[in-house]
Structure 1
Amino acid sequence: MSSLVKEDLEKKLFYPLGQSLYEFIEVECTAQDRFYLCASVTKSEDVQISMVKHFRIGLDEKYEITEKWFLNDLEMIDGKEADADNPCFDMHFKNVYSWEAYSCASKYTFERTLNKLNEMYLKKDLKIVNFDFTYINDDFFWSSNNGDCIVLMRICFYASNLLCLSLCPVP
């Protein structure tokens, strides 16, 4: 489903603007509307972060950029809690914007994308706090498109270990 939304966003919004969409995540805003946080690159190689509203007119899907920022202006990304399954995070520009991603895995996917785009285009010191860096660092696991599955698998592995340890009798 997400690949169809990405394809639709690219075709109807980003390609006409001359941008390449790298990643998007759904974020909670209101119960009635859908919003996506998107990372794209312009023809002049500026990395842009956009808040996109998704709405329907009849049978037609429409998208509208409601706000946009440049990655160069991003001062810090705060994951709120590195040790918890928390989909909330803050992005510090001139103002602080708080987001709740659809899942913790999508929050990490978006952060990894911003980190990768920063390395590719800006090479600036991007301040990243309150994230588990095991899931952010770009090792051989993240080179594939199934990074979210790997994150989920690692979380499940750690959780099952904790469960097993809690069930073991203490001598």
Structure 2
Amino acid sequence: MSSLLKEELAKRLFGPLRRRLHEFIEVEGAGAERRYLCAAVTKGEEVEICMVKHFRVDQEEQFEIVEKWFLKDLEMIDGKEADTDNPYFDMHFHKVYSMEAYSCASKYTFARTVNKLNEMYLKKDLKIVNFDSTYLNDDSIWSSNNRDCLVLMRICFYASNLLCLSLCPLS
């Protein structure tokens, strides 16, 4: 599902803007609309971070960029608490923006992507604080960009639980 959504975002929103979408995560939004925090690169190799609103008009899916920042203006990403499993983080630009990711894993995915894009395009001193550094490195097992693997792992976990429950004798 996430790879299909990424293709949809890339094709319908970022492609016409001549941007290459690198990563997106779902963040908490207001109301029935969904919101995504996206990292994209312009044709001039500027890295943009933008908030995208996803909503429906009649039967058609719509995407709209509602806020945009540049990586060059990002001073720090604060993961709040490195030793707890929480989805909250702050991005410090000229102002602090508090975010709630869909999951702690997606928060780390986004921080890894921003860090990688910084190393590729800017090489500036970007502070990433209150994250477990083990999971920020690209050589970590959890750094796969393919979140579908995580979905598959969850399905396998639930299937194994169902199997175990079905083998338990009923009294």
TM-score (norm 1): 0.83
**Which whole-Å deviations, capped at 9, do the CAs of 1:59-107 have from their partners, x for residues lacking one?**
1111000000000000000000100000000000000000000000000
Secondary structure at 1:134 match in 2? helix
* Residue in structure 1 matched with residue 99 of structure 2 by the alignment: 99
**Residues 16-165 of structure 1 mapped to structure 2, 5 A cutoff:** 16-139=16-139, 141=141, 144-146=144-146, 149=150
Structure 1 Cα separation of the partners of residues 26 and 146 of structure 2: 18
Instruction: Flag the 1:142–1:91 CA change in 2: closer, same or farther, 3 A.
Output: same
Tell me the CA shift for residue 137 of structure 1: 1.5
Question: What runs of 5+ residues in structure 2 fail to find an aligned partner?
Answer: 154-171
Aligned residues: 151
TM superposition shift of 1:32: 1.8
**Structure 1: gaps of 5 or more residues:** 153-171
Q: Deviations over 1:120-163 (max 9, x none)?
A: 000001001100000002226367435784xx9xxxxxxxxxxx
Give the AA of the match of 1:99: M
Paired with 1:96 and 1:145, the residues of 2 have a C-alpha distance of 27
Deviating 4+ runs (over 6 angstroms):
none
2: distance between equivalents of 1:140 and 1:97?
27
Letter of the structure 1 residue corresponding to residue 43 of structure 2:
K
SS of residue in 1 equivalent to 2:141: helix
* One-letter amino acid matched to 1:104: C
Distance apart, 1:4 and its partner CA: 1.1
The secondary structure found in structure 1 opposite 2:12 is: helix
SS at match of 2:106: helix
- Supply the AA of the counterpart residue of 1:5: L
Identity of aligned residues (%): 71
